[in-house]
Amino acid sequence: MIAATGKSIFLAGAWPLCRSAPSPETMIEGLDADVVGTDAATQRRDEVVARVTDHAGRIARELSMLEGGDYGQATFDTDAGSWTLKYEGGDVQYLRFERGGRETYVVSTQQPPEPNELATAMADYDAFVAAFNDHVHSLDGVLDDVATDFPAITSTESVVAARQSILDDLRAVCDEMAGQLHRYAGDNYGSFSTRVNSSRWELKWEDGRASYLRVGGEGGIYLLSQYQPPAAKDLRAHVDDVPDFIDAFNDHVTEISESLETVSLADAGRD
């Protein structure tokens, strides 16, 4: 804004045009005043944090052993607030003091606390340690009356042996099918599928041996597999249908044979 008077013209918020601006020396007066350094407070803060980190690290290792894991966290309440210790690999990740909705990270991997907030938290640190000790003492004798005479465990040996006997027979049959298919197809791998009692059965073979026998399509039950045997209940549910699957395979072979028998070399070259 420009304001006009009878003597001079002024720019609002600026020096009068008819007067000289203050010299640089005048404008920097006061910059020579002493600034109080923070070295002492910072050094003391770092010393306190280092000692707390070491001391809380012992609590972290005790918690790690007590909880049986390499990482976790625990919160302990005091009259003044609550303390949360997070640990990993027996080392402190952070130690947080919360009071009245305000949080102070006494130990942190991010940045150190402000000295005044650290002083407030440290006034309650002994209470935090006492709360941890009370927690440990509360577990004294908690396992004294626990019985360790456990019941006998029933062996799965007979079930496993019966399953393996069935699977050995099934493997022999499926390998024989795979060999027949390999000879007929002339390829190193392939598959044969059919429907048995409304379920899809698929035999996949490679190099004349069965790779798997699956019932139910994708996501179905693998009666034979390169990886693991089927559950005993699944085998029981489908093993009675194996003869029908073999019959379907034999019908397939018969159909192939009959189709080949209709071809005669004597017919070759005839118009």
Express each pLDDT in 82-140 by its tens digit. 999 999 988 999 999 999 999 999 999 999 999 999 999 999 999 999 999 999 999 99
The answer to whether the beta carbons of residues 71 and 88 sit under 8 Å apart is: yes
The radius of gyration of the chain's CA atoms, rounded to the nearest angstrom, is: 43
> Residue 214 and residue 221: Cα distance in Å, rounded?
6
**Mean pLDDT (the chain, rounded):** 85
pLDDT at 223: 97
Which of 11-15, 19-23, 73-77, 136-140 shows the lowest mean pLDDT across its residues? Answer: 11-15
Question: Which residue, among 48, 60, 55, has the nearest Cα to 114 in the 3D structure?
Answer: 48
pTM summary value: 0.56
Question: Is pLDDT at 36 greater than 60 in this prediction?
Answer: no
Tokens 């599928």, residue?
193
> Residue 222 and residue 227: Cα distance in Å, rounded?
10
How far lies 144's CA from each of 65, 133, 148, 151, 230, in Å? 19, 20, 11, 19, 43
